[in-house]
Amino acid sequence: PPLDTIINTFDFEAVAERTVTPKTWAFYSSAATDLLSMKLNRRAFDRVLFRPRLMRNVKSVDTRTKILGFSTGVPFFIAPTAMQGMINPDGEKAVAMGAGEEKVIHIISTNSSHPISDIVSSGKGPEQQTHFLQLYVNTDRQKTAQLLANAKSCGLKAVFVTVDAHISGKREADERLKVDVPVRSAVSGAISHNDKKGGGMGRLMGLYIDRTLNWEDIPWIKSVAGGLPIVLKGIQTAADARLAAEYGVQGIVLSNHGGRNLDTSPPALYTLLEIHKVCPEIFNSLEVYIDGGIRRGTDIFKALCLGATAVGVGRPYLYALNYGAEGVAHLTQILKDELETTMRMCGVTDLSGVHPGLVNTREIDAL
Ligand code: FNR
């Protein structure tokens, strides 16, 4: 169907399900074991209601904000997702192009299909467009140091260290299907191939990830990141959020990896509420982002009201990439438009006007 008939994130998903190869669909859409966390990610947003304030002048609204001090047109970013070349040969290069058009920040995965330099140069260039790096730390630490040096020289502006994937989840849809065409990441060098346990791409491409990585490695990561801000992605408890603040990182992404790793791990929204209850002071020392299940402008607005600086959107961008750079730009416009509608209906004209009083979280407060 033509792009102008796609009016929400679910339309992109439905087209992808019908048109991509079974293996690509299995890798992109799958989640861990019984898919409970993936489904809960959506349900958590459904259980938060608005407390809209009315009779305000909402003629013009502004969705611009800053993430780690970098300007963005919208308070959401393109979450790092591996092997974007599986759905479109241009992969991350097309994402960079579409993201540049709409001023949305793209986080480049360590398991990207294309080299970082090609991705950055496909967009508006490092002066005009912000990209961040997602980091999987390699058992060969020298390779990680080289990757960070390369990322910095390509103009990437921050490092999102993924901390919830020392091991990949058991993603059964992905395990059952053999890898038909072996794929290789141009950034990490990881290759998918079949083994005795099946063809699970997440697992096969994560074999180089260092399972010894721990809090005491944070100073080392800082030392090889050349001064770039550090964000920990995958935090799931207030206790770890507090540790992140103590270790002096600039941000955390509350995330259960789109439900792909530990099944029945909490939706990020629950962790966000837990932080409000247990250690609200950390909002003063680092930025908090959330991801998982964000499919609507209302979801984005709820997260911002509850203190998130921005949110990450994962699978929808993969499905939009089916339509190339234009699809990426179109999805961004859809989410931005839904967010603007929500802001107007809640009586908010710019993002400094969000606050917890605009949402009713009673249904999930007891958790
Ligand atoms: C991911 N995610 C991910 N995260 C990461 O830190 N490094 C990576 O390489 C990947 N790769 C990846 C591949 C695919 C196919 C998916 C769907 C996800 C997780 C991603 O960054 C994010 O946390 C979730 O996708 C957010 O959930 P939604 O928006 O997909 O529901």
Using 70 as the pLDDT threshold, list the residues of the chain that sit under it. none
Catalytic residue among 257, 289, 299, 319: 257
pLDDT tens-digit profile of 93-131?
Answer: 999 999 999 999 999 999 999 999 999 999 999 999 999
Note the pLDDT of residue 367.
72
CB distance 257 to ligand 1 below 6 Å: yes
pTM score, whole prediction = 0.98
Please say whether the beta carbons of 136 and 165 come within 8 A.
Answer: yes
User: According to the model, what pLDDT value does residue 366 have?
Assistant: 78
**Which residue, among 82, 35, 30, 32, has the nearest Cα to 262 in the 3D structure?**
32
**Ligand 1 atom 16 nearest Cα:** 81
Output the residue whose Cα is nearest ligand 1's atom 8. 81
Nearest CA to ligand 1 atom 5: 80
Of 257, 271, 295, 313, the one to substitute when testing ligand 1's pocket (max ligand atoms within 8 A of C-beta) is 257
- Rounded CA separation 89/154 (Å): 22
> Whose CA is closest to atom 24 on ligand 1?
258
Angle at 102 between CA 255 and CA 107, to 5 degrees: 35
Annotated active-site residue 291? The verdict is no
- Residue 106 DSSP SS3: strand
Structure tokens at 267: 């939706």
The three-state secondary structure class of 77 is strand
- State residue 180's pLDDT score: 85
Write down the residue that tokens 């960070």 correspond to. 148
User: Do residues 87 and 16 lie in contact, with contact meaning Cβ atoms separated by under 8 Å?
Assistant: yes
Concerning whether 257 is annotated as a catalytic residue, the answer is yes
pLDDT (0 to 100) of residue 119: 98
Q: Which residues make Cβ contacts (< 8 Å) with residue 285, sequence separation at least 6?
A: 245
> What pLDDT score was predicted for residue 62?
98
Residue 293 in contact with ligand 1 by CB distance below 6 A: yes
pLDDT of residue 263: 98
* Predicted ipTM of the assembly: 1.00
Q: Is 164 known to be catalytic?
A: yes
Atom from ligand 1 closest to the CA of residue 291: 26
